[in-house]
């Protein structure tokens, strides 16, 4: 049953029953949010997608993106300078150009495929996508957020198909020379 309570000023306060109902509703909402976050974490893990958040002013990079490079916890890449060092030198201008184009409003989304050095020393191909997620009072970008996806297997399959095509072409030429 509901109990009305009057405060010292004479105003009626919420009933105990309404307060309990409100607390229960907040509990259920938090539990549902927790489940959705668990499902999202599982989906991104299965898709081999990791997230990043970059503060443009400080150069700080947060998220779990360095796990894709074989790092754990805080031992990985926490600033843009470290990311640049491990980006393949041939790909760095492409990455910087794609980010600048997005920051200048020339593209709706930042997107770039490039190689980065894995903790073990080998190169992996990443697809990086992101957007500006925060601006200052004057409209300048303050933060970017996005995802990395490891696309190394696709690049390796493309390279293998190209090598096979070159081999078939060479065999065909050789056969034509003998016939």
Query: Residue 126 has what pLDDT?
Result: 94
Half-sphere exposure of 108 (CA within 13 A, CB side): 0
Q: Are 39 and 25 in contact (CB under 8 A)?
A: no
**Structure confidence by residue, pLDDT tens digits, 153-173:** 877 777 777 788 787 787 777
Q: Is the pLDDT of residue 7 over 90?
A: no
**Structure confidence by residue, pLDDT tens digits, 83-105:** 899 999 999 999 999 999 999 99
What average pLDDT score do residues 100-113 get?
Answer: 95
Query: Residue 65 has what pLDDT?
Result: 79
Q: Which residues contact 48 (CB under 8 A, 6 or more apart)?
A: 68, 149, 150
């Amino acid at each position: 049953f509901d109990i009305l309570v009057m405060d010292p000023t004479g105003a009626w306060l919420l009933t105990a029953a309404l307060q309990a109902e409100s607390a229960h509703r907040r509990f259920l909402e938090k539990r549902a949010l927790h489940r959705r976050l668990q499902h999202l974490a599982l989906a991104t893990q299965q898709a081999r997608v990791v997230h990043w958040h970059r503060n443009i002013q400080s150069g700080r990079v947060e998220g779990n993106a360095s796990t894709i490079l074989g790092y754990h916890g805080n031992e990985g890449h926490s600033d843009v300078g470290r990311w640049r060092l491990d980006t393949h030198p041939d790909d760095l201008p492409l990455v910087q150009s794609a980010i600048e184009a997005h920051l200048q409003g020339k593209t709706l989304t930042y997107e770039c495929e490039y190689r980065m050095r894995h903790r073990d020393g080998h190169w992996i191909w990443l697809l990086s996508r992101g957007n500006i997620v925060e601006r200052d009072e004057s409209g300048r970008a303050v933060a970017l957020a996005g995802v990395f996806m490891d696309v190394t297997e696709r690049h390796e399959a493309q390279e293998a198909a190209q090598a096979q095509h070159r081999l078939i072409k060479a065999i065909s030429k050789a056969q034509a020379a003998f016939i």
